[in-house]
Structure 1
């Protein structure tokens, strides 16, 4: 049995998990680029259709192919890793305190990421909900699946109930007036915050940028009910996948995903087509019919399309196709935390006033080109780093603080 304080050796890593992590890092940057270019709080506004077709189409494609699919993939991988970590063999003691310390360190990294780099951080809430995963670890597969499904649908259900109460309230003149006034006030507040953030990010000092970033993060907190329950539900399905060893490359798993594709792909395409249309016409800050439709279609379509992406990768990998692509993604995935943080560091340096000051100055196509450039550089950087070191820099710090013992950093030379 392994010592409790030993991280997983590189030779025992599951290569498909690293490929999927690398793929997720690319998709996350593609989605996040728009909210690196603009303040994070623009997510609270209704998307604008008043733009040239050559810019509208890429926006729609990002929403259809990327948005929601890659945080779903990242969440599945988090749940998968949770189960692997909790099932490490140990000579003495329990793995649970080590797991809690691991999450506490991730929580602190998330706080620093929010304060120093970007308000769109996911690490903070991944750590918070990672603690909740402990409550589900002894449940049967069926109960885990039921809980996962309920949690994934919960945001859409909350959205529908909220809209229903607003419709009911609007049936009375006094209620309608109050709801209209609240909507107008909310829209005004959001618009003012976006303008303050734009001014700070484009021309402010570092302290002004930090203050604007924290204000944006706080303003986004109410959206917690409409987002993170689904993340926890996805964690659970990732845990379930780990119980079934679905990321292990073998003919049985390839056959499983091949059977899933004829169902998951059309459901994913249909669900995300509806989501793309509905979300483009929805008032994001105030629930309505379109936002409810977008929420339910996304709750079904995003996981289905994500499953299709995973299935295609696993099938192609098992057949030995696109091996150069998988080889490029493995180093990126092995240092996924470093690359996630590095994307924030690079993009904030490009867009904020203490860097190149390009905040709000790039369009969607230019943003896509920048994504390709940054990710290409990350591939080369990751390949070099992993050839010299066992872990990415952020991964090494995470492990060192988790295990509270020396962790070898450099790759052993012959």
Structure 2
């Protein structure tokens, strides 16, 4: 089905899912906000990972790690199809508008990555989005085949890097461990000092951390993963999955089967890493492949569950708030970073490296509450989020209306 032929309810489903993704992403991102960068990959860094620490991490890993980033990337791909069809319906050139959208998004991402938080995904989405857009007219089968092909690249990379670790000379291996897996105490202290300092003092750590994402992760792993997910999102839109067009029974069956295959695969990765003692040789790449392969299935289960709730008309007040977050997703994503860095970095409370996993979850709940309150309140008065307004202004070349003229829908 063409995206332009979708009903308002089906477009609303994309907004609900987008809002759901914004909240879910924070469950894992909170670790990157609050802990040294290596701790995201190596959860044993600086702690025993036993008792409640282990279970909190394990629940987050199984249910959220890469799952909502996958959903966000898939929705981004679906959104490209929708925007292209709207551009064509308006008589505008879709390539011209898409190029401007991605260029402005890349600029926003650069400001975010190097000025606020190194874990930005916007720049990566902008770069990969230029490639993904070329496939927007492909059939569902071709999109899925290409998605699987691109998504497999990090698997090949992971296997190759694991083999490299096995033959790497001792000094080189130890240097890699210190850089990416188990940094020495003085390196950890330096990260603490940098992020607990003022904004300018943070730059010494934030700039190299962001550059590592853009120069290393983007071309070798993350870019391929995101490209595959964007194409899968295009296929999911065209096939009616994301629009709520499937019968309820199909969503139930697909969700159950996806969870039944995906969850054991992700859990197997935890058991593998535990059994191998979280050594870098086995865990940095090989140990993450379980989650890499299982994450899309768990994501699909989340999507089916959310759309079942939407189709059944359940939890309408919560869905309305999620829809508001989805309609202001870019602004809410950046607001999340502003709130989290204010809590953890030195220009705010300076809690970086001082918060355990229980407190991290409490902070997540606090940020969720802010977004669930602020987004609907904003849309009662305005047509779109503030950053969306700037983005659209840059793309269209004329200032769009911001203040809501008619009675609000929310």
| C-alpha RMSD over aligned residues | 2.5
Unaligned runs of 5+ in 1: 1-9, 171-175
Closer/same/farther in 2, CA of residues 413 and 318 from structure 1, 3 Å limit: closer
Counterpart of 2:60 (choices 36, 44, 62) is 62
Closer/same/farther in 2, CA of residues 318 and 146 from structure 1, 3 Å limit: same
Q: Return the offset for 1:353.
A: 1.1
Deviates more, 1:379-388 or 1:236-245: 236-245
1:249 is matched with 244
Closer/same/farther in 2, CA of residues 165 and 351 from structure 1, 3 Å limit: closer
2:259 is matched with 265
Aligned counterparts of 2:278 and 2:116: Cα–Cα separation in 1: 25
User: CA contact under 8 A between 1:44 and 1:284: conserved in structure 2?
Assistant: no
User: CA contact under 8 A between 1:119 and 1:216: conserved in structure 2?
Assistant: yes
Counterpart of 2:359 (choices 330, 347, 366) is 366
Q: Return the offset for 1:365.
A: 0.5
Q: Return the offset for 1:100.
A: 0.6
Q: Deviations over 1:340-364 (max 9, x none)?
A: 1001101111111111111111111
Aligned counterparts of 1:139 and 1:285: Cα–Cα separation in 2: 42
Counterpart of 2:173 (choices 177, 183, 194) is 183
User: CA contact under 8 A between 2:80 and 2:133: conserved in structure 1?
Assistant: no
Q: Return the offset for 1:44.
A: 4.8
Q: Return the offset for 1:333.
A: 1.2
Aligned counterparts of 2:81 and 2:269: Cα–Cα separation in 1: 32
Counterpart of 2:310 (choices 298, 301, 317) is 317
1:43 partnered with 2:40: yes
Q: Return the offset for 1:140.
A: 2.8
Closer/same/farther in 2, CA of residues 55 and 165 from structure 1, 3 Å limit: closer
| Count of matched residue positions in the alignment of Structure 1 and Structure 2 | 395
TM-score by length of 1: 0.88
Q: Deviations over 1:349-392 (max 9, x none)?
A: 11111111111111111110111111111111111101100101
Closer/same/farther in 2, CA of residues 280 and 135 from structure 1, 3 Å limit: farther
Q: Return the offset for 1:181.
A: 1.1
The aligned runs of 1:34-183 (5 Å cut-off) are 34-45=31-42, 47-48=44-45, 50-88=48-86, 89-167=88-166, 170=167, 178=169, 180-183=170-173
User: 1:14 aligns to what SS in structure 2?
Assistant: helix
Aligned counterparts of 1:282 and 1:331: Cα–Cα separation in 2: 44
Aligned counterparts of 1:341 and 1:279: Cα–Cα separation in 2: 33
Closer/same/farther in 2, CA of residues 51 and 375 from structure 1, 3 Å limit: same
Aligned counterparts of 1:155 and 1:260: Cα–Cα separation in 2: 26
1:205 is matched with 198
Q: Return the offset for 1:46.
A: 5.7
Counterpart of 1:380 (choices 373, 379, 394) is 373
User: 2:227 aligns to what SS in structure 1?
Assistant: helix
Aligned counterparts of 2:224 and 2:275: Cα–Cα separation in 1: 24
User: 1:67 aligns to what SS in structure 2?
Assistant: coil
User: CA contact under 8 A between 1:281 and 1:290: conserved in structure 2?
Assistant: no
Aligned counterparts of 2:230 and 2:106: Cα–Cα separation in 1: 17
1:29 partnered with 2:26: yes
Q: Return the offset for 1:98.
A: 0.6
Q: Deviations over 1:172-228 (max 9, x none)?
A: xxxx5x2x21111123345255432211111x3322212210011223442332322
1:173 is matched with none
Q: Return the offset for 1:123.
A: 0.4
TM-score by length of 2: 0.89
Closer/same/farther in 2, CA of residues 61 and 325 from structure 1, 3 Å limit: same
Q: Return the offset for 1:316.
A: 2.0
Q: Return the offset for 1:231.
A: 1.1
1:223 partnered with 2:214: no
Aligned counterparts of 1:149 and 1:11: Cα–Cα separation in 2: 31
Unaligned runs of 5+ in 2: 1-6
User: CA contact under 8 A between 1:257 and 1:311: conserved in structure 2?
Assistant: yes
Aligned counterparts of 2:69 and 2:274: Cα–Cα separation in 1: 20
Counterpart of 2:297 (choices 293, 304, 307) is 304
Counterpart of 1:274 (choices 268, 273, 287) is 268
1:5 is matched with none
